[in-house]
Structure 1
Amino acid sequence: MWFPRLASDRALRARPIDAPFALTLKHSNAERLQCLNVQAERAGLHRGMSYADARAFCPDLITRPSEPVQEARFLQTLRRWATRWCPWVGLDGADGLVLDVTGAAHLWGGEAQMLAEMRQRLLRAGLTVQLGLGDTRGAAWALAHHGEGVAAPGDMGAALADLPVAALRLEAAQDVALQRLGLRTVGDLAAADRAPLTRRFGPSLLLRLDQALGAVPESITPQPDPPHYGMRMTLPEPIGLVDDLMAGIGRLLAPLCERLLAHDAGARALCVTLRRVDQDSQQIELRLARPLRDPQRILPLFERGVGTVDAGYGIDQIRLEATQVEPLKPRQVSHIAAKGQDRLDDLISRIGTRIGLENIQRFLPADSHIPERSFIIAPAAFSTPQSGWASLRPRPVRLFPPEPVAGHGARPPRQFRWRRMSLTTARATGPERLAPEWWLADENWRSGVRDYWQVETRQGRRLWMYHTPQNPGWFVQGEFA
Structure 2
Amino acid sequence: MWFPRLASNRVLRGCPSEPPFALIRKEGNAERIYCLNDPAQSLGLHRGMSLADARALCPELRIEPARPDLDARFLGVLRRWAMRYCPWVGREGEDGLVLDVTGSTHLWGGEEAMLEDMRAAMARAGVALRLGLGATRGAAWARAHYGEGADLAQLPVAALRVDTETVTALQRLGLRTIGDLQGAARAPLARRFGPELLLRLDQAMGAVPEPVTPEAESPHYATRMTLPEPIGLVSDVMGVTERLLKPLCTKLLAQHMGARRLMLTLRRVDQASQQVELRLAAPMRDAARILPLFQRGVDTVEAGFGIDMLRLEAVQVEPLAVQQIGSADHGADRLNDLITRIGTRIGLENIQRFQPTDSHIPERSFLTVPATHSLPASGWQVPRPRPITLFPPEPIMAKGAEPPARFRWRRMAFTTGRATGPERIAPEWWREDPAWASGLRDYWKIDTREGRRLWLFYTPQKPGWYVQGEFA
Calculate percent identity across the aligned residue pairs.
67
SS at 2:154's partner residue? coil
After superposition, give the CA deviation of every residue in 1:395-420 in whole Å (9 maximum; x if it has no partner): 22211221222212122222112222
Give the match for residue 125 of structure 1.
Answer: 125
Alpha carbons of 1:419 and 1:334: their partners in 2 closer, same or farther (altered >3 Å)?
farther
2:199 matched to 1:207? yes
Q: How far is the alpha carbon of 1:270 from its aligned partner? A: 0.4
2:56 matched to 1:56? yes
For residues 476 and 186 of structure 1, the distance between their equivalents in structure 2, rounded to whole angstroms, comes to 87
2:230 matched to 1:231? no
After superposition, give the CA deviation of every residue in 1:44-101 in whole Å (9 maximum; x if it has no partner): 2221222222222221111111111111111101100111111111111111111111
- The one-letter amino acid of 2:123's match is L
2:469 matched to 1:473? no
Indicate the larger mover: 99-108 or 395-404: 395-404
- The one-letter amino acid of 2:331's match is G
Q: How far is the alpha carbon of 1:388 from its aligned partner? A: 6.8
Q: How far is the alpha carbon of 1:333 from its aligned partner? A: 4.8
Give the match for residue 393 of structure 1.
Answer: 384
Alpha carbons of 1:443 and 1:210: their partners in 2 closer, same or farther (altered >3 Å)?
same
Alpha carbons of 1:456 and 1:53: their partners in 2 closer, same or farther (altered >3 Å)?
farther
Give the match for residue 337 of structure 2.
Answer: 346
Indicate the larger mover: 387-396 or 120-129: 387-396
Alpha carbons of 1:30 and 1:393: their partners in 2 closer, same or farther (altered >3 Å)?
farther
Alpha carbons of 1:413 and 1:14: their partners in 2 closer, same or farther (altered >3 Å)?
farther
- The one-letter amino acid of 2:410's match is R
SS at 1:49's partner residue? coil
Give the match for residue 107 of structure 1.
Answer: 107
Indicate the larger mover: 221-230 or 170-179: 170-179
2:271 matched to 1:271? no
Mapping of residues 72-471 of structure 1, within 5 Å: 72-147=72-147, 149-150=148-149, 159-335=151-327, 338-387=329-378, 389-471=380-462
After superposition, give the CA deviation of every residue in 1:162-216 in whole Å (9 maximum; x if it has no partner): 1111111112222222222221211111111001111111111101000001111
Structure 1 unmatched ranges of 5 or more: 152-158
SS at 1:310's partner residue? coil
Alpha carbons of 1:344 and 1:29: their partners in 2 closer, same or farther (altered >3 Å)?
farther
For residues 63 and 49 of structure 2, the distance between their equivalents in structure 1, rounded to whole angstroms, comes to 13
SS at 1:131's partner residue? coil
SS at 1:118's partner residue? helix
Q: How far is the alpha carbon of 1:139 from its aligned partner? A: 0.5
SS at 1:384's partner residue? coil
- The one-letter amino acid of 1:207's match is L
For residues 340 and 417 of structure 1, the distance between their equivalents in structure 2, rounded to whole angstroms, comes to 45
After superposition, give the CA deviation of every residue in 1:329-368 in whole Å (9 maximum; x if it has no partner): 2234554x61111111111111111111111111112232
For residues 181 and 432 of structure 2, the distance between their equivalents in structure 1, rounded to whole angstroms, comes to 69
For residues 441 and 13 of structure 1, the distance between their equivalents in structure 2, rounded to whole angstroms, comes to 48
Indicate the larger mover: 73-82 or 10-19: 10-19
For residues 327 and 477 of structure 1, the distance between their equivalents in structure 2, rounded to whole angstroms, comes to 44
SS at 1:205's partner residue? helix
Give the match for residue 154 of structure 1.
Answer: none
Q: TM-score, normalised by structure 1?
A: 0.95
The count of residues paired between Structure 1 and Structure 2 equals: 472
- The one-letter amino acid of 1:248's match is V
SS at 1:324's partner residue? strand
For residues 50 and 437 of structure 2, the distance between their equivalents in structure 1, rounded to whole angstroms, comes to 47
- The one-letter amino acid of 2:307's match is I
Structure 2 unmatched ranges of 5 or more: none
